[in-house]
Amino acid sequence: MTKPIKISRSGLKLFLECPRCFWLDLHHKIKRPPPYPYTLAAAVDYLVKQEFDKYREKGKLPPIFAAQKIKAKLYAGEDLATWRNNFKGISFMDDDLNASLYGAVDDILEFPDGSLAVVDYKSTGSREITVYDDYRKQMDTYAYILERMGHKVHPEAYFVFYQVDKTGCGFKNALPFNEEIRAVTIDPSWVPEAFEKAIALARQKTAPAAAPECKHCAYVGAASIHGGFETHDTQSDQNYVLVEEE
């Protein structure tokens, strides 16, 4: 029997960026150097969840959504805690591929027709708020997972941005934020093919070529030449698991 494979939304992102980095991560746990820890962003996420949960308990919509006249409520299902868990999240098992895809969400809106919309919190110190292509792909992937779980999905997903307000006079031991919603139209049509290709590569016994634009692979290649050592691959028969890094 082919062993089951479990990859996260961030794992699928890595596959799209560089198949070789994805393969090395799965087979040998060779990960890209981690970015600087986003501890401030994580703290903002934690505080926003606490604030939104208070509105959820009261059955009310947070003011930022109410101001946009969004006709929905915060999802209050018992499975929300699991859906937010970085190691469980929303997930589905594809029996044909013997593989699962999962990802942790920040929050969910539920509309009167029963459809669900993913909500993601983003904090930034930039002057301009930008919805990057990767952000859109993140929402597409979550929408696809929810659909495979049997849920009706709303045609839009929502980003709640918390942008540092730098117009004040001094710090004064407080960091003010401007709160803004950006809605995006979801398109999960690309996800099934990408997921299938990622699983096929995960079961491949040899490493693929690096993506031409992958700076990580380019660095390793240059280091192997100028550092006087060679890089080579070995086969591993372990279960392949990517840890969610949202």
User: Which pLDDT does position 173 carry in this prediction?
Assistant: 82
Question: Token match 């994805």: residue?
Answer: 22
The CATH number that applies at residue 16 is 3.90.320
The encoded tokens of residue 113 equal 């027709």
The answer to the question of residue 151 being in a domain is yes
Helix-helix angle 9-17:133-148, to 10 degrees: 130
The answer to the question of residue 129 being in a domain is yes
Instruction: Print pLDDT tens along the chain (246 aa).
Output: 479 999 999 999 999 999 999 999 999 999 998 877 788 899 999 999 999 999 999 999 999 999 999 999 999 999 999 999 999 999 999 999 999 999 999 999 999 999 999 999 999 999 899 999 999 999 999 999 999 999 999 999 999 999 998 887 778 788 889 999 999 999 999 999 999 999 999 999 999 999 999 999 998 888 878 765 554 443 333 333 443 344
* Structural domain count, the chain: 1
User: Which pLDDT does position 235 carry in this prediction?
Assistant: 39
Closest among 7, 16, 227, 206 to 97, alpha carbons compared: 7
Quick one: 159 exposed, middle or buried, by C-beta within 10 A (0-12, 13-18, 19+)? buried
In angstroms, rounded to a whole number, what is the distance separating the alpha carbons of residues 179 and 242? Answer: 32
User: SS3 of 126, please?
Assistant: coil
Range of the structural domain that residue 103 is part of: 5-241
The answer to the question of residue 26 being in a domain is yes
User: SS3 of 236, please?
Assistant: coil
Alpha-carbon distance values, 55 to 30, 184, 185, 205, 243 (Å): 42, 24, 26, 50, 31
Q: Which residues of 46-89 form beta strands (DSSP E)?
A: 73-74
221-234 per-position pLDDT tens digit = 888 787 655 544 43
DSSP category for residue 243: P
Closest among 104, 40, 41 to 242, alpha carbons compared: 104
The pTM of this model reads 0.88
213-222 per-position pLDDT tens digit = 999 999 888 8
The answer to the question of residue 246 being in a domain is no
Cβ-contact 16, 73 below 8 angstroms: no
User: Which pLDDT does position 168 carry in this prediction?
Assistant: 75
The answer to the question of residue 45 being in a domain is yes
User: Which pLDDT does position 238 carry in this prediction?
Assistant: 37
In angstroms, rounded to a whole number, what is the distance separating the alpha carbons of residues 240 and 187? Answer: 28
The answer to the question of residue 106 being in a domain is yes
In angstroms, rounded to a whole number, what is the distance separating the alpha carbons of residues 200 and 5? Answer: 10
Cβ-contact 90, 142 below 8 angstroms: yes
The answer to the question of residue 74 being in a domain is yes
In angstroms, rounded to a whole number, what is the distance separating the alpha carbons of residues 102 and 6? Answer: 8
Cβ-contact 163, 178 below 8 angstroms: yes
The answer to the question of residue 203 being in a domain is yes
162-206 per-position pLDDT tens digit = 999 888 777 878 888 999 999 999 999 999 999 999 999 999 999
Quick one: 99 exposed, middle or buried, by C-beta within 10 A (0-12, 13-18, 19+)? buried
User: Which pLDDT does position 170 carry in this prediction?
Assistant: 77
